[in-house]
């Protein structure tokens, strides 16, 4: 439930920053997300539990996640749709399921291997030559999705050593130096002039919401991934697609192509089957332990 709420919040935050990106640029998005988000988490935590125990993994995860965010924002700056980007991101749960095998020692049987293969066929169907998503931005997003899946796995790993406020605080804080690093690029590509990093009025309200919403969402993610296994949480990655369809249509009148929706549907069905098999496997394990007892 916590992670599901987090995905809903992050979807609205994504819509907010996609709307503001032409004004503030990628660097502005990173700086506002990091600055406001870190302050909000520090206030919520009252300054306690922020120092990491597993420093290498906390900082490595933060750098990876921030790099993913930069790629995502540049793709949105180029005009890629919100729902379209979420459709590509639907591959993340399949990657999480596969990465959980070597990284978390989770078992995957032949049925889930088959469903993962079917899911990747869905990704290929979305990205078929000549289709609406046959664009360089989709390739960049696939790289970002791989990083996002690895970041989710590391969140699960860190749950055994570090608190949700620590994991989220350093993630937000890392946005600031990376935002400054990307500022020269953000100023000239796309060629829209130097971004307005300190807007006023409703733009300011929108950016404050964006930063605060990210802080809350990532706190919920960190807590949710600490309480449940990857296979149970992975299907929740599909919920932003539903939010993206609604928000994308209401704000930008975006309507994804039928190939995008069909491919995303195949991927989602494969992911839901993985969840079903995981539940069956765990029920069998509990029954076996009960019989042995």
Give the span between the Cα atoms of 120 and 241, in whole angstroms: 17
Task: Categorize the per-residue pLDDT at 256 as very low, low, confident or very high, splitting at 50, 70 and 90.
Answer: confident
What is the model's pLDDT at position 291? 65
From its phi and psi, is residue 72 left (phi > 0), alpha (psi between -120 and 50) or beta? alpha
For 163-207, write each residue's pLDDT tens digit.
999 999 999 999 999 999 998 887 676 656 678 888 989 999 999
Q: What percent of the chain has pLDDT over 70?
A: 85
Range of the domain at 17: 2-292
For 113-160, write each residue's pLDDT tens digit.
777 778 778 877 887 766 677 788 888 999 999 999 899 888 888 888
* Closest C-alpha among 42, 36, 88, 72 to residue 212: 36
In this model, does residue 277 exceed pLDDT 80? no
Q: The pTM is what?
A: 0.85
What is the model's pLDDT at position 234? 63
CA angle, residues 60, 241, 20, in degrees to nearest 5: 70
Task: Categorize the per-residue pLDDT at 278 as very low, low, confident or very high, splitting at 50, 70 and 90.
Answer: low
CB 281 within 8 A of CB 111: no
What is the model's pLDDT at position 233? 66
Q: Which of 81-85, 98-102, 278-282 shows the lowest per-residue confidence on average (mean pLDDT)?
A: 278-282
Task: Categorize the per-residue pLDDT at 217 as very low, low, confident or very high, splitting at 50, 70 and 90.
Answer: very high
What is the model's pLDDT at position 259? 83
Q: What are the Cα distances from residue 26, in Å, to 31, 72, 166, 181?
A: 9, 9, 25, 11
What is the model's pLDDT at position 94? 76
Q: What are the Cα distances from residue 142, in Å, to 85, 99, 120, 268?
A: 9, 15, 12, 16
What is the model's pLDDT at position 1? 64
In this model, does residue 37 exceed pLDDT 60? yes
What is the model's pLDDT at position 198? 87
Token pair in block for residue 179: 């935002």
Number of domains in the chain: 1
Whether the CA torsion 174, 175, 180, 183 is positive or negative: it is: positive
Task: Categorize the per-residue pLDDT at 66 as very low, low, confident or very high, splitting at 50, 70 and 90.
Answer: very high
What is the model's pLDDT at position 236? 73
Taking residue 198's Cβ as centre, other Cβ atoms within 10 Å add up to 12
Task: Categorize the per-residue pLDDT at 110 as very low, low, confident or very high, splitting at 50, 70 and 90.
Answer: low
CB 58 within 8 A of CB 168: no
* H and E: helices and strands count for the chain: 11, 0
């Amino acid at each position: 439930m916590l992670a599901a709420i987090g995905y809903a919040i992050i979807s609205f935050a994504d819509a907010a920053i996609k709307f503001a990106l032409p004004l503030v640029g990628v660097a502005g998005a990173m700086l506002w997300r990091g600055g406001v988000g870190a302050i909000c988490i520090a206030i919520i935590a009252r300054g306690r539990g922020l120092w990491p125990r597993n420093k290498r993994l906390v900082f490595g995860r933060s750098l990876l996640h921030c790099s993913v965010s930069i790629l995502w924002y540049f793709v949105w700056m180029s005009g890629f749709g919100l729902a379209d980007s979420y459709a590509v991101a639907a591959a993340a749960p399949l990657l999480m399921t596969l990465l959980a095998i070597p990284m978390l020692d989770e078992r995957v049987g032949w049925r889930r291997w088959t469903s993962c293969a079917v899911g990747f066929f869905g990704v290929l169907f979305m990205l078929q030559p000549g289709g609406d998503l046959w664009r360089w931005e989709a390739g960049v997003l696939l790289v970002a999705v791989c990083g996002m899946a690895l970041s989710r796995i590391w969140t699960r790993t860190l749950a055994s050593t570090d608190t949700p406020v620590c994991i989220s605080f350093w993630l937000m804080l890392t946005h600031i130096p990376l935002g400054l690093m990307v500022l020269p690029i953000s100023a000239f590509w796309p060629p829209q002039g130097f971004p307005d990093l300190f807007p006023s009025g409703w733009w300011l309200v929108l950016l404050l919401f964006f930063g605060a919403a990210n802080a809350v969402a990532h706190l919920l993610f960190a807590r949710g991934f600490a309480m449940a296994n990857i296979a149970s949480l992975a299907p929740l990655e599909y919920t932003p697609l539903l939010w993206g369809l609604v928000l994308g249509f209401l704000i930008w009148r975006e309507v994804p192509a039928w190939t995008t929706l069909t491919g995303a549907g195949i991927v989602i069905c494969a992911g839901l089957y993985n969840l079903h098999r995981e539940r069956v496997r765990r029920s069998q394990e509990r029954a076996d332990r009960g019989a042995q007892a």
